[in-house]
Structure 1
Amino acid sequence: MPEIFLNERDFAARYLIAARTLQRWRGTGEGPPYIRLGPRRIVYPLAAAEAWAAARTFPHRAAELAQDGRSRA
């Protein structure tokens, strides 16, 4: 089965994120893995995007803070 890729607009729509945010994340390294196919052509492998989103899914705020190592004592 061939791998599915999302362009920047599709990724932004799927995850309710502004395209500009994705552009900023590419610069800071905070965002999902991407593939540069040309000077202006960026795609996101769907499997990587889903894994990225799953890694940022938490049942409650305390779990998020514990994963980041920022829990309060």
Structure 2
Amino acid sequence: MAKPIDPDPRATLRGGLPDRYLTPDDIAEVFEVPLETVYQWRKKRTGPPGFRIGKHLRYDPVDVRAFVTGLKDADRNAA
């Protein structure tokens, strides 16, 4: 019997997010919005904070989680 292949440890999920820097495509998939929406959030500074590595835009999963938590807290306080 073949030994099961261990998953790549960098792909381990934490809080529902991959344990790696996320791309704009990842953000669009996570939030189920069009990719253009992700870019508009960045332009308007209303979405999760991103950063550039050279010409590539990336998001830290910790920052994305904090962004979602902030939205949830704001929603609870408004109710």
TM-score (normalised: structure 1): 0.68
What root-mean-square deviation, in Å, do the aligned CA atoms of Structure 1 and Structure 2 show?
2.1
Q: Is the partner of 1:17 in helix, strand or coil?
A: coil
Gaps of 5+ in 1: 67-73
- State the identity as a percent: 23
Equivalent residue number for residue 23 of structure 2: 7
Give the equivalent residue in structure 2 for 1:30: 46
Alignment correspondent of 1:69: none
Larger Rg: 2
1:64 Cα deviation after fit: 5.4
2:67 to 52, 58, 63: 52
- The one-letter code of the counterpart of 2:21 is F
Greater relative CO, 1 or 2 (CA 8 Å, sep 6+):
1
Q: What do the CA deviations read for 1:23-72 (whole angstroms, capped 9, x no partner)?
A: 01111111111011123x111000100110111125xx6x3536xxxxxx
Distance in 2 separating the partners of 1:49 and 1:13: 13
| Equivalent residues, number | 61
Segments of 5+ residues of structure 2 without an aligned counterpart are: 1-9, 11-18
Moved over 6 A (4+): none
**TM-score, normalisation: structure 2:** 0.64
